[in-house]
Every structure is written in C-alpha cells, then in structure tokens.
Structure 1
C-alpha cells in the first residue's frame, strides 16, 4: 500500500476528517489531501507530525511488513525503496519493517539548488552523519560545516535546516522519539 493510501486508511479508521488531521498537524487540508492522493511526498518532519497525530509510528507509514529481531537491509533494497520528494532530496527508511523500534534511520540524497530553505522542527532527537559531500547544517542559532565523516546529534525540536555546499550530499539521519520509532 502506498504512503498516501496508508495515511487515508488510518485517518478513516479513526473516523477523522482531513480538516481535523491537517489542523492538528499545523498545515492545510489541501496539503493533506495531496499527500493522501499521492500528488506530493511530504518531508520527514511532516510525516512525523502526521504519524503523531494518527497515533502511529513513522515506520508504519513507510512500510507495513513487520519483521521482529534483526533486520538486514542490502544496499540494493535500500536504493530500490528511495522516495523522491519535490523538496530537492530523496530518502529511504532503513529497517522500516521492524515495529516498536527506538529509532528510525534514513538514508538521504540531497541536490544543491533544489532543497529550498525550509526549517524543520519536530519532537525527539536526531543524529546526522555525512557520507559524501559537504553541507552547512543549522541548529538553532548555531552553524556547522559538515564534511564526509562529520556528524551532529541534537534535539530536533530546535529549528534546524541545511544548505548544500557540494552539488550532492549523501547522509544518514537517525530520528529517535517514542512516537516515531
């Protein structure tokens, strides 16, 4: 089942309106409708808000094949499940099929000039590890230049955003929170 269809199904199972969920998430009914109909893929922060509002986990929205215990994800499988957004980046949820985990890792590929200047804020903590390229990452009022091998760990409720220095940046991001694991 596709992401938008899963969101719509959960919303309808809870007998909640588009307007109810959109207001609780802090965005428009129109945006939620576009997400549910597969016309747009939301950024991770938006997915986290939707999951919280629906009382579920982001991993459930991204993959409903539950697998307990050790989860092996091959590079081919991870690359094959890339979700392409209109926000200038693509991502893949790693080990999404394991329910009730304490963290959700993601693999991101961001393209310079396409990511915009959107600021993110969501519950939990976040860990960023740059695999390739260089980016400037902003957390609160602080600025960090991250090259391959550099990392950041921060409270993700703080406003955060990034700017790419190189044409492309590949990085891992791990989100931790009771409600999105």
Structure 2
C-alpha cells in the first residue's frame, strides 16, 4: 500500500505543477529557472547532476522549451525552490524590473571607484559640484546606475568626460552611446569620434580610452553598458 500511496502523491504533485505552469510562457519560465540557477552559482552541468537529469533537458527548459513536469520537479528540488516560485515569483530576488531614480545618483571616480562615492552617500552631486571636484583632482566622474538585475549581465554607467580616462581592459563586451557632446573613443590602435546620439560596441578586453573630442564643450557625457561575460 505504501508504494501506491507514494505514486498517488507524486501524480497529484505532477498535476498541481502542470496547473501552476499552464499559463506561463516557456521563455518566461526558462528565464526564471536560469536566474534561480545563477543565484546559487551553479553551472548547467552542476544542476543537471544534482537533479539527476540530462544536461540537455536543463538547456532546453532554460531556452524556453516546454518542460517535462517530472524533470522540472527534480530541478526545483535540486535548487531548493517550489515550482510556485517560478510560476508566480514574489520578493526582491525574483524582480523582473529594477528602476534607477534621479535621487539614486551617486558619482564615483572611474579611476578609483573602489574609494566610494564622491562627496559621500547622502545625496546626488550637482554638475557644478562634480566640475569642482575635477578641478581638485577627480579624473573621470562615473555614475553607477542601480537599475541592474540581481542575476543580470548588463552593467550600465554614465561617464562624464573632462579629459581622457585611464586605459581600461576587462572581459566581455561594451556598448557606448554619446548623451551629450562629442567623444573620442580609442579601442586598441583605433580611435574614432562619436557625436551626440551615436554609438559603438566593442570587445572590452581590448584596451580602451574615453576622451572629449578636440575642442568639444565640457563635459562630454557617455552612456556605457558593459556585458558581464561570466560563464553561465
């Protein structure tokens, strides 16, 4: 009788799971599953091993393929989550939209943002205050936008240019869009001017420098969106 009761309980669980995910598009469910995996720092291979399922099954589910209910249940058990958290997410760890308000602005120095916010954490700095700090030694004011998803790969910033930045190099890709003025962007041995509304994308492992174009009114402002290239 015990095995029969276990089977009935499992079948009931499968039916409940199917009802929960019935109205959730596969791409949405797969995206939530991927974020849950990344929050735990697991590779697809690690998760498949923990759940005792085929790696390709996890890849297919995260890619938006229709999940097999039994496989989905095994994966959720391995992640320590309930299927409901994928079907009807709640709480900050499952946020799908993160907003940066003007009151959230905190400026750093691109050459040493580890030193903390310019002028402290109390309030945003005015453009006049930032310009004064540049005169006192700040090289390249950097606004780190807080509109970043917890497990996302987009890292947006605004760079304010009064002079050439220090050369930088890091993994991933970078997209730059000129918000105001004209910027000279140097990637490796290549330099090019971008006017307001113009953009470029490059492999950011190549050494790169941002600078105001010759005779451009200061400051020049550039939106930079870096793609975090950590392995999934």
* Structure-1-length-normalised TM-score: 0.54
Following superposition of structure 1 onto structure 2, how do residues 59-78 of structure 1 map, counting pairs within 5 Å? 68-78=95-105
Aligned to 2:162: 111
Following superposition of structure 1 onto structure 2, how do residues 13-162 of structure 1 map, counting pairs within 5 Å? 68-78=95-105, 81-84=106-109, 88-95=139-146, 98-112=149-163, 115=164, 118-162=166-210
Cα 1:169–1:67 change in 2 (3 A) is farther
Q: 1:17-75: per-residue Cα shift (whole Å, max 9, x none)? A: xxxxxxxxxxxxxxxxxxxxxxxxxxxxxxxxxxxxxxxxxxxxxxxx97832111122
Aligned equivalents of 1:126 and 1:179: distance in 2? 14
Residue 164 (str. 1) matches residue 212 (str. 2)? yes
Which ranges in structure 2 are unaligned for 5 or more consecutive residues? Answer: 1-91, 111-136
Aligned equivalents of 1:109 and 1:145: distance in 2? 16
Aligned equivalents of 2:148 and 2:201: distance in 1? 24
Tell me which protein shows more strand as a share of its residues.
Answer: 1
- Following superposition, the deviation at residue 169 of structure 1 comes to 0.8
Aligned equivalents of 1:154 and 1:97: distance in 2? 21
The count of corresponding residues between Structure 1 and Structure 2 is 111
Say whether the 8 Å CA contact 1:132–1:169 is kept in structure 2.
Answer: yes
Say whether the 8 Å CA contact 2:104–2:146 is kept in structure 1.
Answer: no
- Tell me the secondary structure at the aligned position of residue 108 of structure 1: strand
Cα 1:97–1:176 change in 2 (3 A) is closer
Aligned equivalents of 1:162 and 1:124: distance in 2? 17
* Structure-2-length-normalised TM-score: 0.43
Q: Which has the bigger relative contact order, CA under 8 A and spacing at least 6? A: 1
Which ranges in structure 1 are unaligned for 5 or more consecutive residues? Answer: 1-64
Structure number with larger C-alpha Rg = 2
Aligned equivalents of 2:187 and 2:144: distance in 1? 23
- Following superposition, the deviation at residue 97 of structure 1 comes to 5.5
Tell me which protein shows more helix as a share of its residues.
Answer: 2
Cα 1:162–1:148 change in 2 (3 A) is same
Say whether the 8 Å CA contact 2:173–2:229 is kept in structure 1.
Answer: no
